[in-house]
Amino acid sequence: MRLYHSPTSPYVRKVMVLLAETGLTGVHPVPASGTPVDPGSMPLDQNPLGKIPSLERDDGPALYDSRVICRYLDSLAGSGLYPDAPRLWDSLTVEATADGILDAAVLMVYETRVRPADLRFAPWVEGQWAKVDRALDAVESRWIDHLNGALDIGQIAVGCALGYLDFRHDSRGWRESRPSLDQWYATFSTRNSMTATQPPA
């Protein structure tokens, strides 16, 4: 299988962390890059949305969206990163919360990197950060017990989201007023799967 990949994409990182945690082999990274205004080398034939990660398979159409790819690879590996219900609903909600943090954080980056300066709208950027802020507060107040439980896709997604905030939005200081999440990430980020997939400096 071929995984369209960028070392700076936090969604790709979710897949790479899952691969490292499960030990699944046979997935080969293929470099891809692009933006909403220039798809560049994005795999448009595989994913009409022009986004990564996308997973090309030998025996079926390409899969896309990190949530679909992660679930597919977990099922191939039989690794149980998606627990049985009712815990499953918590795992998926934690993953959705982390992915929502990423969606807002990535849009903020595009705003400064892709949109011309004279077309930028600061309140829109702050509105995106407000989403991140609220979601982090929800994880801090509601989901710490879940994060401290058995490894699952929710933890992987939160780990990749926090890693991306450190990578692109360090100056926002997400750790302030979130001591439990800070402590959890200090441990989680030392896993081999996380250190091996750190975005380049």
Ligand X SMILES: N[C@@H](CCC(=O)N[C@@H](CS)C(=O)NCC(=O)O)C(=O)O
Tell me the helix, strand and coil percentages in the chain, rounded to 5: 55, 5, 35
Spatial neighbors of 160 by CB under 8 A, at least 6 apart, are 10, 11, 13, 14, 17, 98, 102
CB of 36 to ligand X, least distance (A): 4
Considering beta carbons, is residue 39 or 149 the nearer one to ligand X?
Answer: 39
CB of 130 to ligand X, least distance (A): 20
CB of 127 to ligand X, least distance (A): 18
CB of 30 to ligand X, least distance (A): 14
Considering beta carbons, is residue 53 or 154 the nearer one to ligand X?
Answer: 53
H or E stretch including 71?
helix 66-77
Q: List the 63-64 sheet strands across, edge first.
A: 28-31, 2-5, 54-56, 63-64
Considering beta carbons, is residue 65 or 111 the nearer one to ligand X?
Answer: 65
Alpha-carbon distance 106 to 109, whole Å?
5
Considering beta carbons, is residue 114 or 186 the nearer one to ligand X?
Answer: 114
| Contact call for residues 7 and 57 (beta carbons, < 8 A) | no
Q: Pairing state of beta strands 54-56 and 28-31?
A: unpaired
Q: Which residues form the interface with ligand X (CB under 6 A)?
A: 9, 11, 34-36, 50-53, 65-67, 99, 106
CB of 40 to ligand X, least distance (A): 9
| Contact call for residues 99 and 157 (beta carbons, < 8 A) | yes
Considering beta carbons, is residue 113 or 145 the nearer one to ligand X?
Answer: 113
Burial string for 110-129 (b: 16+ CB within 10 Å, else e) reads: ebeeeeeeeeeeeeebeebe
Considering beta carbons, is residue 22 or 66 the nearer one to ligand X?
Answer: 66
CB of 143 to ligand X, least distance (A): 19
Q: Which residue is nearest to ligand X (CB)?
A: 51
